[in-house]
Chains A and B, each alone.
Chain A
Amino acid sequence: MQHDPAISEQLRERFPEAVVSASPGPIDPWIEIAPERLAEVAAWLKNDPAQDYDYLNGLCVIDYFTADKKLAEAVGAARLVVVYHLSNLSRKRQLTLKVTLPRWANAASETPPTLPSLAALWATAEWHECEAYDLSGVEFTNHPHLRRILCPEDWVGHPLRKDYQMPLEYHGIRGR
């Protein structure tokens, strides 16, 4: 299983405005995609015979946010990063895509940011997107059935957000 060194160039060539940035390493290289172009890039990666990334290992969300001044520099701007790990089983290639989103689409009403769902391309995404929605608060549009998959349906908040506060009480059960 190797990273394809040429993939970031191919992507830049094919979708010049989609590739925001690319990191060649030092350990795992990744490519950052503009959120609005994610769907077509993903479709190309899946369907193009030269790419054929047929296997979505998973996706997860990293919340860059801190109230700690000492860490503020390392964390950088407050944002959510959605990371997709793709593989091509036959050619033993892997690829990491990143998409940066604002922490809230509307901070005042705490409306979660949205991203197109990839469940139609990889069935794996269906449950993983539910998990990302549940734990990190990213809403996926066109998802067949976006729901809280691990937490109870009426849970408040997204536990993997850095500013998440465990509720004091949940149906009479002490939270903290």
Chain B
Amino acid sequence: MAVTLNRALDALTGWLVGSIGDDAACGYALAAILQAGMLLNLVAISGLVFIWLERKIAGRIQDRLGPTRTGGRFGWLQTIADGLKLLCKEDLMPGKADWLLFRLAPYIGLAASLSAFLALPFSGMPHPFVAQRLDVAVFFVLAVLGLEVFSVILAGYSSASKWSLFGAMREAAQVVSYEVPLGLCAVTPVMLAGSMDLVTIGDAQQGGFWNWYLLHSPFAFITFGVYFTCATASVNRAPFDLAEAESELVGGFHTEYSGLRWSLFFLAEYGSMMLVSLLAAILFLGGWHGVLPLGLGSGGWLEALLGTGIGGYLGALLGLVLLLTKGLLLVIFMMWARWSLPRLRIDQVMTTCLKYCTPIAAVCFLGATLWQASLPNGLLLRPYNAELLRAQAAGPVATPPADVLIVDTAGGRP
């Protein structure tokens, strides 16, 4: 997508300045801004929708209606009204707080949550909608997701409140612990696809739901469950929302926050929820591929009918919708769990992680490996893999110029 966009923008700037190609930097910058803006809007709008959805779901679960007043019968504009209210609220800061860290903490969380989206693809080859295609995308996403804990720790520490400090300590302990099983679970699809590139992993599951890694083996199935549990824990959702356990810690790390800064924490939380759900969809649920092979993707009848250009893009857009739908369903599942289950205690959260999730994930990884190795034609280290790598290592592969790395192009990497 970026290539096309760059070309289009180049053409546009070229037309404007009268020289084509010389000032490509402008086009790249515009493309970068456009992509980052699209991601920002995706997170912001999904945050708006999720808050509304959460209230509606909570209402329905609790035999209530949820928001009904603002914005018509279903209260569509409730979140916007809430946002306006939060904007108008006073931005309070405790007298003893560390002003710099207290003010910065929400932005760090939001930045971490947003930047993880940079490497997340929304459709597969040949038109991967991805801001920056990385060949270590899984690793990158998990690494950046782990940075969100900083905002909580700093918020908790700088608030000069004991409840905040308790929340921050719980969060730090919890997130650092849950990164281990989360990583172990994410390794299984990586191993099955033979790549850490999310586009490759997603495309490896095309052709109907029986090709999804969820149904690859019983082990992979369990791995998905463990992954989702750990993902819920690592984004601080109930029943693992100990950092903000309101019945114990008043508000946890955001006790002292108000107004817009407080809402930024929530935007970051909903962003992370979305991120881990989309990641789960790509890693286990076929990503942008449909439940049945209807030939809408590359090489299907859609491309044959409309040509690889328009047809391909239509297919990719359809994939985007499919991926977002899968992510949304997982987010709804998280909400369902939140409004049904009591909260675990901190020692039980740690026990769940260290005694159950980590060993189960490790065993399942081993099991999935053996399963894959024992399948016909499914040997782990197929000879041509090694040959391919040798070929890569032997000679320099033509990669695009370095400045493209800021806004990578589709298909630029092998």
Consider the complex of A and B and state whether they touch directly, i.e. have CB atoms less than 8 Å apart: no
